[in-house]
Amino acid sequence: MWLADERAVESISIGAGILGCGGGSNPYIGQLRVRQLLKERGPVTVLSAEELSDDARVMCIGGIGAPTVGIEKIRDYQSYNAYNALTGFLGSVPDALISNEIGGGNSIEPMITASLTGLPVVDGDGMGRAFPELQMKTYFIYGVPCYPLCVADEKGNSAIFSHAITPLWLERMARAVTVQMGCTACYALAPMTTQQVRTTAVLGTLTLARDLGEAVRGARSSGTDPIPAILEVCPGKVLFQGKVMDVNRRTAGGFARGSVSIDGLAAFEGERMVLEYQNENLIARRDGEVVCTTPDLITVVDTDRGEPITTELQRYGFRVTVLGFPSPEHWTRPEGLAVVGPRAFGYDLDYDPIRL
């Protein structure tokens, strides 16, 4: 057990931005929302899955929508609204909360509801990174029902899906409602058992995000290179370094879609990398050759500061480092690749694991 105070949340927002592969909603905005509650109510308790009682019930809290909208239409307490609507529908309350994904602001979205309810948050999530679609959760891949689910907006509207024939159908229905809510909303999922959390979640990811953030902040304060500090905490590799030259971005169907072109600098002089994304970075091509694909993590950070740069904030002129990290093993099994491998996103590519 540990306590998520203001410093921890600031570090988590940096680390979750790195793990989020460019998505998961803006981490800086997310931590600002949580820090205000922490000032008023004190820190949130974070429990490991092993510290849960065997009969505990754990509710997943998350956000849904396009990151490009989320930086202009800032979330309020939608996750708390979704929690209240769903617990009212179910007639019971959970014993703890857990994140849908460790990416960006979604990593700390459960802390808003936790602060307002006094519930603890479990150290884990349903992705080990961020993915753009609702069905892309380790919970669902490994047997947790995807319903009932409640989607809520900032106006007080909520919609409860009491049944869906597949997680993909739930995504389609919830996405349609989210678009009508303004392309950004939050949701709450019917509670899981402790055993389901222990066997389907990617565990320890809040701690990993916090430690990554601490490493970046430590490098900044000492004036050292943040890139080696990141790779020491979370083993991965530098895929590219350069200057952002072109950004092709659009909001369509409730997603941010597009590509980023980066011209190489230093050891990569004369080369070009193109990243393709749907909320999150999915494919990295170096001079036309694929060097990293989903479900491995592709993340972009500011070369000098180690600050994660989400897809909605990419701009011409940024000096960036592209990092690659191995996927959690949950996704590299056949059942995981069927949902989040390159072919699941329409690419005629087979998954080739990153080699460190």
Closest CA to 121 of 58, 39, 29: 58
Q: Are residues 187 and 275 located together in one domain of the fold?
A: no
In this structure, the answer to whether residues 183 and 115 fall within a common structural domain is yes
Examine the domain organization and report whether 297 and 195 are in the same domain.
no
Tell me, what CATH number does 235's domain have? 2.40.390.10
My answer on whether 104 and 151 are in the same domain is yes
Instruction: Render pLDDT for 57-113 as a digit per residue (tens, 0 to 9).
Output: 999 999 998 766 666 766 778 999 999 999 999 999 999 999 999 988 899 999 999
CA angle 159, 160, 161 (to 5 degrees): 120
Task: Identify whether 20 is part of a domain.
Answer: yes
Other CB atoms within 10 A of residue 250 CB: 10
List the structure tokens of 245. 């030259």
Same domain assignment for residues 159 and 307: no
Tokens representing 109 are 């979205």
Q: Are residues 258 and 296 in the same domain?
A: yes
Identify the pLDDT of residue 62: 94
Instruction: Give 339's pLDDT tier (boundaries 50, 70, 90).
Output: very high
User: Residue 198 is part of which domain span?
Assistant: 2-203
pLDDT at 241 over 80: yes
Residue 69's pLDDT is 67
Q: What does the pLDDT read at residue 247? A: 94
The pTM for the full model equals 0.94
| Residue-wise pLDDT tens digits, 286-298 | 999 999 999 999 9
Same domain, 37 and 138: yes
Give kind and range of the element (H or E) at residue 80. Answer: helix 78-90
* Mean pLDDT on 116-138: 96
State the CATH number of the domain containing residue 44.
3.40.1610.10
Residues 6+ apart with CB under 8 A from 91: none
State how far the Cα of 107 lies from the Cα of 25, in Å rounded to an integer. Answer: 9
Whether residue 95 contacts residue 68, with contact meaning beta carbons closer than 8 Å, is answered with no
> What pLDDT is recorded for position 71?
62
